[in-house]
Every structure is written in structure tokens, then in C-alpha cells.
Structure 1
Amino acid sequence: MFDPFAQDEGKAMSHLVWKSGERECVFKGPIFDICKVKRESSDGRIASFIEVDAPLWVTVIPWFRDKSGVARFVMVDQFRHGSATITREFPAGVVEKGEDPLVAALRELKEEAGLEGGTVTALGNVSPNSAFMNNRSYFYLVEQASHTSGQELDENEQLDVLSVPVADVLRDLGTGIYDNGIMCIALFFFLREAGKRPYLMQ
């Protein structure tokens, strides 16, 4: 019988790998495709699984200290069509085909918030939902960027830009208008960086 309290001892996990077989695109959409993939388990089971084929995503955390010395984030408010609600998020977007994620992040920061320059730190990247999505989401911290231009939004994009004290975001993220899960991941990466540089939260 398995032991649910067993500790990770670096055991091999190869028996958990399913080998990929035939792959068929069953839906092509404007922001993602849906594919059907046949896979076989190590014990011989064969089944078809749905895979969302999506582009890479980027999220930028613009951090600055205001004239009073308060650490703040630049954030955007926008209507999200999936939840049909207004959410408050860090600037974010999609990596264009062949584009480097960092280049995409800085492009989104300029397009959405009119910000350029500053010090950039790559915080990491994760699979946003490994159960059925095949893309990755990249996160960057940009410190003390300068306001250089107006917005350059996509045709159907509409958002307001504002600054929020870091302390308020730490308190409220995951509730109310701060309920976008990708933003929670972004804050995790920020907190890990702030563990090395505590002044980011002060």
C-alpha cells in the first residue's frame, strides 16, 4: 500500500510518463487552438486527451517609489470577457510568434502603461495550467520605469492605468477585483524576489 506521508527521496518518476502519439487540431481560434492528443501510459492504457495550444504569456510588475517614499505598483483596470467582470492586474499580454518574451513584456508595458526604461529582472516562468494547456507564462519586475508616452492599445482593448501601494496589493490580491489567478502567480514571484530585497515591500 502506498504511503501518503512518505517524503520525497528523489525516486524515479519515469513510470508516470505517458508517451505521446497522434496529434490532431480540432479547433483553430483567434487566441488558442484545441488539439486532441493520443497518449499511452507505462502500464499500457491508451486514451485521447485535450490540449489547449496557446501562445506564451508575459506579465510585467512595474515597481516604483513615489515622492513620499511609498513603494507602489503600476496596475491596470479592465473588463475581462471570461469572467464578465472588471479586474485589476499588472500589465500583461501575449508573446507574438518569434518574439522574445522579454521584448514582449517591455512592449506590453509601453503599450498599456506608457512606461519605458528602468531596471528589469526576470523572475521566472511557469505552466499556467499544466492539466490541459501547453504554454508558459513569463514574469518580469521592472523598477523605476519612466512615463514616456500615451497608450497604444489593441482595437478592442480598453483599460485605465493607476498606481497602488505595494502593501495594499499584498493585502487584497486574490479578492474582489484582484482575483486574476495569473496575477497571484506574479505576486508569488515578486515576494520571492522581495525575500532577497526586502526594501521592495517597504
Structure 2
Amino acid sequence: MRDPFNVGESSDLEHLVWKSGERERVYKGPIFDVCSIVRTSSDGRTSRFVEVDSPDWVTVIPWYRAENGKPMFVMVQQFRHGSSSVTREFPAGVIEHGEDPQVAGLRELKEETGLVSDPLTALGNVSPNSAFMNNRTHFYLAEGLSLVADQSLDPNEQLDVLSVSVDEVIASMGTGLYDNGIMMIALGFFLREAKKRPFLYTTKE
């Protein structure tokens, strides 16, 4: 029996790897495709699995300090068709084929809010759902914000732009309007950056 209380990282991961075999596209859609893929485990078991073939995503966290010294986020509110509800989120979108993630982040920021950023800091990227999705989602912190344009939304986009204090977002993430798992990941990346730069979430007197 393996000891779950054994502290340390295991360097032997090879026995967990399933080797890929035949891959077939079974559905082609406007947002993602669905593939069926055969994989074989290290102990000889073979099965067929579902893989969602999706473009990479990008999320931008626009940050600034209000005149009263409070750190603030610029966020957007929109109706989400998967949950049939309005959510409050950081600007985000799909990275176009061949597009640099940073370029995509700046594009989405400007399209959704009219803002540009200098600097734009890469915070990291992760698999949004490694159980069946094959894409990555990238996260950036946008500072030095300037309003330069009106919104330039896609035909079926409808969203409001507003400022929310960093304190409120930290306290509310995962509840109510903040019901979006990708935003929780974004906040985690922000808090890791803020641990190195505490002024990102402290009020300036």
C-alpha cells in the first residue's frame, strides 16, 4: 500500500503515462472539435477516450490604483450561455491560430474595454481542464492602463465594463457574479505575483 503521508515529490512518473494511438475527429464545431483517441496504459489496458480539441485562451487582469489609493481591477460583465447567467470576469478570449498569446491579450483588452496596457506581464499558463481538453489558457497582468478607444465587440458579444476593488474580488471570487473557474485561476496567478509585489493589493495612504 502506498503511504499517502509520505512527503516529497515522486520522480518516477513513467508508469502513469498512457501511450496515444488512433485519433479520430468525431465532431467539428464553431468553437471546438471533439476527437476520439485510443490510449494504452503501462500495464497493458487499452481504451478509447474523448478529447476536446480547442484553441488556446487568454485572460488579462487589468490593474490600476484609484485616486483614493485603493488597488482596482477593470472587469467586464456578460451573459454566459453555458451557465445561463451573468458573470463578472477579467477580459478574456480565444487566441487566433498562429497568434502570439501576448498580442491576443492586448487585442482582447482593447476590444472589450478600449484600454491599452504598458507593461503587460506574463503570469503563466495552464491546462484549463486536463481531464479531456487539450488547450492552454494564458494569463497576463495589465498595468499602466490608458483608455484609447470605444469597445469593438464581436457580433454576439454584449458586455459592460466596470472597476472593482481588488479586496472585493478576492473576497467574492467563486460566489455570485464571480462564478467562473478560469477567473479563479487568474486570481491565483495574481496573488502569486502580489506576493512578490505586495503593493498590488495594499492601499496606498
TM-score (norm 1): 0.98
Is the deviation greater in 113-122 or in 179-188?
A: 113-122
3-state SS of paired residue (1:183): helix
Quick check: 1:173 aligned with 2:173? Answer: yes
Residue segments in structure 1 that go unaligned for 5+ positions in a row: none
Q: Distance in 2 between matches of 1:9 and 1:86?
A: 41
Residue segments in structure 2 that go unaligned for 5+ positions in a row: none
Quick check: 1:77 aligned with 2:71? Answer: no
What is aligned with 1:11? 11
Q: CA deviation at 1:154?
A: 0.2
Q: Is the 8 A contact 1:128 1:182 kept in 2?
A: yes
**1:116 is matched by which residue type in structure 2?**
V
Aligned pair in 2 of structure 1 residues 11, 118: CA closer, same or farther (>3 Å)? Answer: closer
Q: Distance in 2 between matches of 1:161 and 1:70?
A: 18
Q: CA deviation at 1:117?
A: 2.9
What is aligned with 1:57? 57
What is aligned with 1:128? 128
What is aligned with 1:98? 98
Q: Distance in 1 between matches of 2:144 and 2:72?
A: 10
**2:50 is matched by which residue type in structure 1?**
I
Cα RMSD for the two superposed structures: 0.8
Residues 29-68 of structure 1, C-alpha deviations (whole Å, 9 max, x = no match): 0000000000000110000000000000000000001122
Q: CA deviation at 1:179?
A: 1.1
Query: How many pairs does the alignment contain?
Result: 202
Q: CA deviation at 1:100?
A: 0.5
Q: Distance in 1 between matches of 2:47 and 2:10?
A: 29
What is aligned with 1:186? 186
Quick check: 1:199 aligned with 2:199? Answer: yes
**2:148 is matched by which residue type in structure 1?**
T
Q: CA deviation at 1:86?
A: 0.2
3-state SS of paired residue (1:128): coil
